[in-house]
Amino acid sequence: MSMLQKTSRTFYIPITRLTPGLKEAVSSAYLCMRAIDEIEDHEELADALKAKLLYEIQDALLAPNMAEAVEHTFAPYAHQLPEVSLRLVEWVQLCPETARDTVIRYTAKMSKEMAEWVEVQWQIRTEADLDRYTYSVAGMVGELLSELWLWNDGTVTDREKAVAFGRGLQAVNILRNQSEDQQRGVNFFPEGWDSKDMIKYTKRNLKVADAYIAELNKGPARDFCKIPLQLAHATTKLIAAGGSKLTRDAVLKIVNKISG
């Protein structure tokens, strides 16, 4: 929980409110994906090394002796990688055994697709490219969560809308981090797009995400999704008005309003 709090202001609160078992499964999933995301975004590693590591992580996660394979992959680079990445095996083991294969499968898939994006230098020329990228790093998180909701209590969700939920949250991150991304030579905006175009893309996906949540019955899945989705709406509105990031007080106000 302390690592989760360090790495996610958006997801820490809704995860801590989940029921036992589901709480550990979603925490495991988030931290596993954060572990590989920190490698994709690493400011000092060469792109060739990033891709190599991400491909090797995919293979290691699917290996018969997963823990040994992951540790072997990380060992030469332990002095360069952040703690959240180096503790990947711990995050996998945090997940209840009956849901562990799901978390491993999606983390391995994301690691492979992240590696592919590193190899092409995150070149996004069209909206279709943007859709593929936002699926790779966030849309499949929506799919993973859908499987965890089903595993937990039989909750059935619309997978396409679940993808839009993840994709919308990622689009907000792209809007919010545009200047930082440009400083490191990465541009996630399709050719010819400006902020208004990305805001339209974001709002379109968040509207589908609203429908995703509206279809959920009262329970852990709905309670969890409401908080990051409302934060995403508020951030998009702020950016459209010329702002950038929500203050901590604004975040807490939204969370308290949702949770009563």
Judge whether 210 and 229 are in contact, CB under 8 Å. yes
Under 8 Å between Cβ of 222 and 165: no
In this prediction, residue 5 carries a pLDDT of 86
Whole-prediction pTM: 0.93
Give me the percent of the chain exceeding a pLDDT of 90: 81
CB 107 within 8 A of CB 61: yes
What is the pLDDT, as a whole number, of residue 259?
75
Q: For residues 56 and 10, what is the distance between their CA atoms, to the nearest angstrom?
A: 29
The percent of residues in the chain predicted with pLDDT above 70, rounded, is 100
- Predicted confidence (pLDDT) at residue 260 exceeds the cutoff of 70: no
pLDDT digits (tens, 9 = 90+) for 209-255: 999 999 998 889 999 999 999 999 999 999 999 988 888 888 888 88
- Quick: pLDDT tens for 78-124: 999 999 999 999 999 999 999 999 999 999 999 999 999 999 999 99
Query: What do you get for the CA distance between the two ends of the chain, in Å?
Result: 23
Q: What is the DSSP string of 21-79?
A: THHHHHHHHHHHHHHHHHHHT-SSS-HHHHHHHHHHHHHHHTSTTHHHHHHHHHGGGTT
Under the banding of pLDDT at 50, 70 and 90, the label for residue 181 is: confident
CA 234 to chain centre: 18
The predicted structure's pLDDT at residue 67: 96
Mean pLDDT of 21-43: 96
What is each CA distance from 219 to 11, 124, 165, 166, 216, in whole angstroms? 17, 38, 17, 19, 8
Q: What's the longest Cα–Cα distance across the chain?
A: 52
Rounded Cα–Cα distance for residues 61 and 84 (Å): 16
In this prediction, residue 142 carries a pLDDT of: 95
What is the per-residue pLDDT for 254?
A: 87
Q: Note whether 28 and 95 are within 8 A (CB).
A: yes
CA distance 193 to 184: 19
The pLDDT of residue 203 is 97
Provide the 10 A C-beta neighbour count for residue 182.
Answer: 12
Mean pLDDT to the nearest integer, 53-77: 97
Q: In this model, does residue 77 exceed pLDDT 90?
A: yes
Q: Per-residue pLDDT for 27 more than 70?
A: yes
